[in-house]
Amino acid sequence: MKPLYAIGVDFGTESGRALLVDISTGQEIATYVTPYTHGVMDEVLVHSGLKLERDWALQHPGDYMEVLEQSIPRVLSEAEVSPEQIIGIGIDFTACTMMPLDAGGTPLCLTEEWRDHPHSWVKLWKHHAAQDEANLINEAAASRGEKFLARYGGKLSSEWMLAKSLQILNEAPELFEQAVLFMEAADWVVMQLTGQLARSSCTAGYKANWHKREGYPSKAFLHSIDPRFGNLVETKLRGPIKPLGSKAGGLTESMAAMTGLLPGTAVAVANIDAHAMVPAVSVVTPGKLVLAMGTSTCHLILSDKEVTGEGICGVVEDGIIPGYYGYEAGQSAVGDIFAWYVDEAVPEYVRRKAADEQLGIHEWLEKEAAQYAPGQSGLLALDWWNGNRSVLMDADLSGVMLGLTLQTKPAEIYRALLEATAFGTRAIIDAFTDSGVEVQELYACGGLPQRNRLLMQIYADVTGKEIKVADTVQTAAFGAAMFGAVAAGKVQGGYDNIVEASKAMARVREETFKPIEAHVRVYDQLYKEYKELHDYLGRGENGVMKRLKSLRSGL
């Protein structure tokens, strides 16, 4: 018999990639990355050149279709496999990445009438311009004692569906009325593949506050915010919500022609990128915290009980693995912080030295930063370059670095930024633990753990926990492929559930990162300083960050 395969398509912040996986062995056969033609629009709007306000982040839905059109045929060609050998396809996506659609399911930005209006375009996950709306929603929910609020750490994010939808209503009411549906980009792509509307329980639960038994926030609550907002669920969020691991539908004739696959090929219900990584690193039971590390980091863990607490961005029953409550927290910027430093602040002599040693700038800085012992730089940073997702849930916060002197070197700053993100992760671990969700082990996946050994050692030292690393760089796409195999089911040669698929396909590296006791003691001291600064600037005792942002916005 010929081998059987599944394809996972991972839609990230800057690009999308398809991964072809042998479902019996978990071997990665071929992968192909398609950069988004239009990238992230955070300064000007494509076509019109309209200048965007601060904190906007938009995308072009056509880029997502290009990923399907280019990446899937490419992996089939490279692997020299026939379409008959592909039993399923899974999709994962950054979230909340949402778009308004017309009655035919076309994004409004692709229509002549609305294409020059910024609110018609896809709002990427890191679109933070809806913070005022998030504040309003949180205040209203708290004052009414809305039960759902506690499941999201007491605050909904500006990144999520309700805040982004309310921003459209407030700033473009005519477009709000015109939109027939608001959809996660993940669900929209699945709808393009299958021709059927099927919302994911994962995207709905974590990003639109849907609950398995209670549904979305009530009409009365939404109406209390704005009477025009009251019908949001019945109108713009309508549609069947299907559980993870289920089949959304079969590939349409037109999409089969575009991708080179067979019509009717099983398409899985969409997943969030970080959440797809959990079973891909063999985590299908409680107590194991998965760090999905990239431009940002998502922290995900399973539990057999539902608890609430500060710093928990969401708890959703069956939200990651059926049979468990899936918990999410996160940091709004991690890799993005390191990239900012390299792109915007590294001096020219560092670039020359890196080039002379035939190293990338990140590699050179990592090598030099590893020469310093914990605490040796005298620096301490807060990891809020893109606001704080957990535990404070406040996009108006910003970055800080203390201890700079005339002798400070670039590698010391780089190390302090690495350490800051590790401190942020420890704060999230503490929040989980304080809420009654035990964290026993750490698993890291995504691009950063594969590329930066110093970063992983610092995380082990700061948290005091051993870290296991995924044996794949394309962890999200790998997890999506696993869900594709589950959507096909055992009758087609796949798996009946994601636990079976994980046991057969998932792999982690034998090498782990273990905490160094002498480093742990120093980082315990530095973490106390981090927490004091974190609370002083993040909990309202000193509101200088918000005042600075207000001044900047007013100019």
Residue-wise pLDDT tens digits, 53-76: 999 999 999 999 999 999 999 999
Stated length of the chain: 555
Hey, CA dihedral for 542, 309, 432, 393, is it positive or negative? negative
Which pLDDT score, from 0 to 100, does residue 101 have? 98
DSSP character string of 234-266: HHTT-S-EE-TTSEEEE--HHHHHHHT--TT-E
Of residues 75, 56, 87, the one with CA closest to residue 10: 75
Residue 116 lies in a domain: yes
Backbone angles phi, psi at 265, to 5 degrees: -55, 135
For 474, the token pair is 């394309």
- Nearest CA-CA partner of 207 in 97, 301, 58, 297: 97
pLDDT of residue 173: 98
Give a yes or no: residue 332 inside a domain. Answer: no
Averaged pLDDT for residues 27-36? 98
pLDDT band at 393 (very low <50, low <70, confident <90, very high): confident
pLDDT tens digits, 76-128: 999 999 999 999 999 999 999 999 999 999 999 999 999 999 999 999 999 99
Domain presence at residue 335: no
pLDDT of residue 555 exceeding 70: no
Locus of tokens 């350490």: 419
> To which H or E segment does residue 183 belong?
strand 181-184
Is the Cβ–Cβ distance between 429 and 455 less than 8 Å?
no
* Nearest partner of 304 among 317, 289, 291, judged by Cα: 317
CA distance 294 to 274: 10
Q: Is 186 among the domain residues?
A: yes
Residue 380 lies in a domain: no
Distance separating alpha carbons of residues 310 and 154, to the nearest angstrom:
7
What's the rounded Cα separation, in Å, for the pair 83 and 80? 10
Please check whether residue 444 lies inside any domain of the structure. no
Binning pLDDT at 50, 70 and 90, where does residue 553 land? confident
Percent of the chain with pLDDT over 90: 94
In sequence order, which ranges of 4-117 are alpha helices (DSSP H)? Answer: 61-79
List, in sequence order, every residue forming a beta bridge with 381; answer none if it has no partner: 401
Answering whether pTM is above 0.95, one says no
Pairing of strands 58-59, 266-268: unpaired
Q: What is the mean pLDDT of the chain?
A: 96
Q: Look at the block and give the residue holding tokens 């069956």.
A: 318
> Contact, 479 vs 24, CB < 8 A?
no
The reported pLDDT for the residue numbered 395 is 84
Residue with tokens 């059926």: 322
Confidence band, pLDDT 50/70/90 cuts, at residue 129: very high
Whether the pLDDT of residue 156 is over 80: the answer is yes
Residue carrying structure tokens 């918990």? 327
Looking at residue 1, what is its pLDDT? 79
Whether residue 30 lies inside any domain: the answer is yes
Question: CA separation (Å) from 90 to 63, 119, 138, 273, 489?
Answer: 18, 29, 34, 11, 13
State yes or no: pLDDT of 521 exceeds 70.
Answer: yes
Band of residue 277 on the pLDDT scale cut at 50, 70, 90: very high
Q: Does residue 417 lie within any of the structural domains?
A: no
User: What CATH number does the domain containing 45 carry?
Assistant: 3.30.420.40
The DSSP line for 306-336 is ----TT--EEEETSSSTTSEEEEEEES-SHH
What's residue 311's pLDDT? 87
pLDDT at 554: 77
Determine contact, residues 538/392, Cβ cutoff 8 Å.
yes
Query: In 3D, which of 76, 58, 74 has the Cα closest to residue 66?
Result: 74
- pLDDT for residue 113: 96
Q: Where are the alpha helices (DSSP H) in 145-250?
A: 161-171, 173-178, 185-194, 201-207, 219-225, 232-235
Domains contained in the chain, number: 1
One-letter amino acid of 395: A
Q: Chain centroid to CA 171: how far?
A: 26
Distance CA 480, CA 279 (A): 10
Instruction: Judge whether residue 50 has pLDDT over 70.
Output: yes
Domain that holds residue 190: 5-125+179-212+239-275+475-506
Is 484 within 8 Å of 7 (Cβ atoms)? yes
Per DSSP, the chain holds a count of helices (H) and strands (E) of 20, 22
Start-end of H helices in 286-409: 335-340, 348-356, 361-369
